[in-house]
Amino acid sequence: MDFEKYTTLIEEVKRKGARLVAVSKTKPPAEILTLYDRGQTLFGENKVQELVQKYEQLPKDIAWHLIGHLQTNKVKFIAPFVSMIQSVDSMKLLAEIDKQAAKQERTIDCLLQIYIADEETKFGLSQTEAEEMLCSSQFTSLSHVHVCGLMGMATNTEEEEQIRREFRSLKTFFEKLKRTYFKENPFFCELSMGMSADYKIALEEGATLIRVGSKLFGEREYL
Ligand SMILES: *Cc1c(COP(=O)(O)O)cnc(C)c1O
């Protein structure tokens, strides 16, 4: 854990009025605690089982964001405690989150994951799919989710201008949705974009949440 990097990063993020999601996937609870002891209470995980285990082992005032692909049959495991699901990529998934949140007598904050990268592998909705979802009668009937904004991942490239263009397109789409579907809605205010390699660009382009893992915790080892 590089505390100097953490301190610099958190100051940069606060100066911009944004928030840091410390992405702790694959990292043990002890490492999460060292950041928690420095005041970091917002963490991101991408797998349900790992998220549940860490939630059980760690202080209960940690806010957990799910940032990875979520299968509908696993929503029930995180519905009791998850703070935000950033990776909503279908109406079916959002409807299941609504159902499980209602069972827990909670409202769950969600972001729609929008596909912005020039890559085949990434999950997410196209802009058209997202708008179709927001227009549907099924969407209007949901009562236990807050759609709080959008999440996106830029292409993994050295081309700074391409990354900037992709983030800018996400911000433009966010503003369009805000005007069109969420005008009087105070919840729709989050734009989650930027990771270790491109968070500086994301902050310049208006991110309110950045998701940083390896820059804080060091490179991940996948076993
Ligand atoms: C792993 C992950 C991150 C963090 O990536 P780093 O490059 O380690 O900062 C951010 N967002 C998502 C969706 C991730 O899966």
pLDDT tens-digit readout, 16-34: 999 999 999 999 999 999 9
Q: Decide which of 75 and 119 is more confident.
A: 75
The three-class DSSP label of residue 126 is coil
Nearest atom within ligand 1 for CA of residue 199: 9
Look at residue 110 in the predicted model and tell me its pLDDT: 98
Percent of the chain with pLDDT over 70: 98
d(CA 132, ligand 1 centre) in Å? 28
- pLDDT attached to residue 51: 98
Name which of 79-93, 121-135, 139-153, 183-197 the model is least confident about. Answer: 121-135
Note the pLDDT of residue 80. 98
Separation of CA 76 and ligand 1 centre (Å): 24
**Residue 88 CB contacts under 8 Å (≥ 6 apart), including other chains:** 70, 94, 97, 110, 111, 112, 113, 147
pLDDT value at position 122? Answer: 61
| E strands present in the chain | 19-23, 42-45, 63-66, 84-88, 108-114, 145-152, 190-193, 209-212
Phi then psi for residue 43, to 5 deg, are -130, 150
Q: What is the mean pLDDT of the chain?
A: 95
Please determine, for residue 223, whether its predicted confidence score (pLDDT) is greater than 60. Answer: no
Q: Which residues does a 6 A CB cutoff place in the pocket of ligand 1?
A: 23, 25, 46, 67-68, 153, 195-197, 211-215
User: In this predicted model, what pLDDT tens digit does every residue of 31-57 receive, in sequence order?
Assistant: 999 999 999 999 999 999 999 999 999
The amino acid at residue 136 is: S
Determine the distance separating the centroid of ligand 1 and the alpha carbon of 53, expressed in angstroms: 19
Tell me the best of 1, 23, 85, 210 to mutate to test the pocket of ligand 1, counting ligand atoms within 8 Å of each CB and taking the most: 23
Ligand 1 atom with least separation from CA of 220: 8
Query: How high is the pLDDT of residue 98?
Result: 98
Q: Give tens-digit pLDDT for 154-175.
A: 999 999 999 999 999 999 999 9
Query: Ligand 1 centre from 100 Cα, in Å?
Result: 26
pLDDT reported for residue 221: 72
